Structure 1
Amino acid sequence: MNFQTYLDIFRNRRIGAMLMLGFASGLPLALTSGTLQAWMTVEGLDIKTIGFFSLVGQAYIFKFLWAPLMDRYTPPLMGRRRGWLLLTQVGLVLGIAGMAFCPPQQALWMLAALATLVAFLSASQDIVFDAYSTDVLRPAERGAGAAVKVLGYRLAMLVSGGLALWLADRVLGWQQTYLLMAALMGVGILTLLWAPEPDVPARAPRSLEEAVVGPLRDFFARPGAWWLLLLIVLYKLGDAFAGSLSTTFLIRGAGFSAGEVGIVNKTLGLAATILGALFGGTLMVRLGLYRSLMLFGVLQAVSNLGYWILAVTPPHLWTMGATIAVENLCGGMGTAAFVALLMTLCNRSFSATQYALLSALASVGRVYVGPTSGYMVEAWGWAPFYLGTVAVALPGVMLLWAMRHTVHRYEAQAREAIA
């Protein structure tokens, strides 16, 4: 397979749909979190009220609870996956536009209700988008598809985060900015008009009971199911530990200013993550799933040593830039392979529910390492802590090696299902 063939992977309708629908998937997140928080802060709301609004994001944690409904039922237009995407996106356009007409000081409770609705619809869109990605991408395209999803999602977060704040403050004001963000959701709706259906349509569950029980029965009937779940938890765990206190470390531990960290960590880090995901997705076309997971997993572990170097050397902006670039580049590559793994493990009849459950399990490490990291730094110091993050990454790599035949088998089965 030559380089031109690799590039052709990125030039088909399925990959194009991943980019545009990834953008639509990422756009609402900041509008109910960071951007909304900024709006309430500017309007002078008290800190307790602002903190309470963080609860609207609970829908993203519990989205697996209603995922079976989206596996079981098919809307009347556009089929099982695109139909649900259309419904959620139209709802998001209306919900975000409604938020524009609810100033925090004058219509706080209506704003809270609409923000909760937008978060629910956004989490629902994520469920169906992940299922659609799993169903429509061919096995050879999953690495590239995962990379392009990350690109679209991150670009949308920039638009609805940093750009929205600048527009609201300097150009449009809050109401017009939220109306503009609602209009940008139209990108996803337009994409659905030409986004392709899967090559081989999957059978939907025949009953709601099958939609709820079937995904679990199907997964746990597979050989090595429990080991697969453990691999999902462990594979990105070292990466999660390294990133859990990275901002605090760069300011307090390494001695950089908040401004330096903001410019380098956020801007360069985001660019490196996107580049890593795209590069990783391209490499996966040649390497396949298992070899990509192994190579990127090792790189994720080794790249954490950059933070250890920062901890034991005097602060220098170039050293921080190199560390951030390498760590996020390797993390982006690992993310592309990991998302491809989740897609491979899903039965397309239950892909909404199984992907929601597996991704929720994958987030366990990211959510709960924070408190543990704080205790470890307090007890050991920064330099030993970052050496420890390399050690934490190794069990996932070793388990992956032990399960190499299992991963190869699932990769082969995925190819046969599409053929």
Structure 2
Amino acid sequence: MTEPWSHILFSRRMLICVISGFSSGLPLFMFVYLLPAWLRSAGLNLTSIGLTSLLMMPYALKVLWAPWVDRWSITSLGRRRSWILCCLLGLIVAFIGLGWTPPHDLGTVSAWSLLISLLSASQDTALDALRREILPDNELGLGSSLHVNAYKIAGLVPGSLALVLSDIIAWPWVFMICSLFLLPGIAMSLLMREPASSNSAPHSLREAIIFPFKDFLERHGEQQTLLILLLVMTYKLGDGLATTLATPFYLDMGFSRSTLGLVAKQAGLIASVTGGLVGGFGMLRLGIVRALWIYGILQASSILGFWWLSLSHHGVFALAGVIAGEAFGVGLGTTALVAYMAQQTSMRYTATQFALLTSMAALPRSLINASSGWLVEHLGWSHFYLLCLLLSIPGLFLLLSVLHWPKVNSRGEKSS
């Protein structure tokens, strides 16, 4: 008997998806919103700020240590809970350390930022595996949408609250307050049960390293594996580049930090919540593959809002509309891609296989985003956003091949 959707939506599984999404998004959006705003306010140029994207490389390289996350538990809490708890505690320390560092001391700033990136990427590896292990296949779409929704909402802390506070209190206290929002994730890791499937850890490090990749190739085949990897690498390439310097862009357009925090950023909240729910429930009818296509088009279209805003001076309502459109479109695309990647993983090797896919998704964005400041300084904002739109097209073309693939579940069974 199928469980009513209302029971699924308000279940403990979905609550874990919400809290884990928030804990995952907060450190990442520190790089997207808070770090650029802090450095720009201190007078650093866009090229230097853009290069800080390279500090996010651990998100692209986490597959290298994901087998250790699959193989070992740090504490007696279990593989998933122990990694989540230790990473969150480390993130709080690193946030506070970064906040007390002078922004012109780029060496120390880079060291603290790199530590945040390493801990956040490791936490994501455990959180992705946890989510895959607690959700049955039919709940992946809704669970992923709630995770992504909370992930986006977490951006309001460094992207809204922090910007408002920075006009009132000193930057070190801003970073400290942001770190306190990681406490719900710590409570979750202490109070939840370790997933039953998490007890079937690989028996050796060799098995943890080799078998996940062997299993992935055997279930999908070489050609389909290549197409899957190319798809996750290119699907969010354009919108990822477009949002890298979003905060400096808004500041260069003449909007104050308080305006961004109090008015414009709030516009993204309703749009993000709506996009997440529409995306999750939409996948119940469309299926994940068709949702990738429809949501991908909407995601790419949201870039046009940045281009339009760059052409001439616009008011606060125009800015709010652009941010709302971005939050809705990108939220849809992210929801579909996360659900699709989860669907391709095996329950026995969730951490490593999920890390492989998310690493491949992050790698090209990290490399290209590092050039964002240089591109803006040489192309200007309007041509930069047209370039971002063009970079969204390859991922959409790859979906023409995806639509003909048979469905493959976590046990490797195919159906038409």
Please classify the TM superposition score into its range, dividing by the shorter chain length. 0.7 to 0.9
Mark the runs of 5 or more structure 1 residues left unpaired by the alignment. Answer: none
Say whether 1:185 aligns with 2:154. no
- Distance in 1, matches of 2:40 and 2:379, equals 36
Q: Distance in 1 between matches of 2:31 and 2:140?
A: 30
> C-alpha deviations, 1:325-369, integer Å up to 9, x for none?
334422211110101011111223222222222112112443455
Give the equivalent residue in structure 1 for 2:131. 133
Residues of 1 paired with 2:36 and 2:373: CA distance? Answer: 26
The equivalent residue for 2:21 is 22
Distance 1:200 1:286, change over 3 A: farther
2:149 corresponds to = 151
In the alignment, what sits opposite 2:356? 357
2:267–2:320 CA contact under 8 A, matched in 1:
yes
Q: Report the equivalent of 1:232.
A: 232
Amino acid at match of 1:220: L
Work out whether residues 56 and 117 of structure 2, in 8 Å CA contact, stay in contact via their aligned partners in 1: yes
Shift of 1:209: 1.9
Superimposed CA distance per residue, residues 360-405 of structure 1 (whole angstroms, 9 cap, x where no aligned partner): 211244345565998799899958974x766654543343233324
Q: Which amino acid aligns with 1:231?
A: L
Post-superposition Cα deviations, 1:305-336, rounded to whole Å, max 9, x if no partner, equal: 66677789996876665555334422211110
| Rounded Cα–Cα distance in structure 2 between residues aligned with 1:250 and 1:112 | 24
CA distance in 2, matches of 1:403, 1:313: 39
User: What CA distance in whole angstroms lies between the structure 1 residues aligned with 2:310 and 2:172?
Assistant: 45
Q: Secondary structure at the match of 2:15?
A: helix
Counterpart-to-counterpart distance in 2, 1:301 and 1:60: 23
| Comparing 25-34 and 215-224, the one that deviates more | 25-34
Q: Call closer, same or farther: CA 1:414–1:270 in 2, change over 3 Å.
A: farther
1:204 aligns with 2:201: yes
Distance 1:378 1:19 in 2: 40
- Partners of 1:240 and 1:365 within 8 A in 2: no
Q: How many corresponding residue pairs?
A: 405
Q: CA RMSD in A?
A: 4.7
Q: Who is 1:220 aligned against?
A: 217
Match of 1:404 in 2: 403
Rounded Cα–Cα distance in structure 1 between residues aligned with 2:126 and 2:251: 39
Note the C-alpha offset of 1:291.
2.4
In the TM superposition, residue 128 of structure 1 has moved relative to its aligned partner by 1.1
CA distance in 2, matches of 1:404, 1:362: 19
Cα 1:207/1:266, change in 2 over 3 Å: same
User: Contact (CA 8 Å) 2:71, 2:208: kept in 1 or not?
Assistant: yes
In structure 2, the partner of 1:288 is 287
CA contact (8 A) 1:92 1:118 kept: yes
* TM-score normalised to structure 1 length: 0.75
Query: In the superposition, relative to structure 1, how do residues 108 and 404 fare at CA in structure 2: closer, same or farther (>3 Å)?
Result: closer
Corresponding letter in the other structure for 2:227: W
Q: Which region of structure 1 is more displaced relative to structure 2, 284-293 or 235-244?
A: 235-244
Distance 1:400 1:128 in 2: 28
Preserved contact between residue 36 and residue 248 of structure 2 (Cα < 8 Å): no
Matching residue's letter, 1:87: C
* Distance in 1 of aligned mates of 2:363 and 2:44: 31
Structure 1 residue 22: deviation in Å?
2.2
What letter matches 1:170 in structure 2? I
The Cα shift of 1:287 comes to 2.5
Tell me the CA shift for residue 299 of structure 1.
Answer: 2.9
Bigger relative contact order (CA 8 A; separation at least 6): 2
Give the Cα separation in 2 of the matches to 1:308 and 1:181: 31
- Which one has a bigger Cα radius of gyration? 1
Q: Is the 8 A contact 2:80 2:198 kept in 1?
A: no
Q: Tell me the equivalent position of 1:330.
A: 329
Q: Go from structure 1 to structure 2 and tell me whether the alpha carbon gap of 1:317 and 1:414 turns closer, same or farther (over 3 Å shift).
A: farther
Asked if the contact 2:67/2:351 (under 8 Å) is kept, the reply is yes
Identity %: 33
Work out the CA distance in 1 between the residues paired with 2:39 and 2:77. 38
Deviation at 1:292, TM superposition (A): 1.6
Of 120, 140, 143, which aligns to 1:142? 140
Deviation at 1:226, TM superposition (A): 0.9
* Residues 1:167 and 1:297: Cα distance change in structure 2 (over 3 Å): closer
Unaligned runs of 5+ in 2: none
Aligned counterparts of 2:97 and 2:302: Cα–Cα separation in 1 = 44
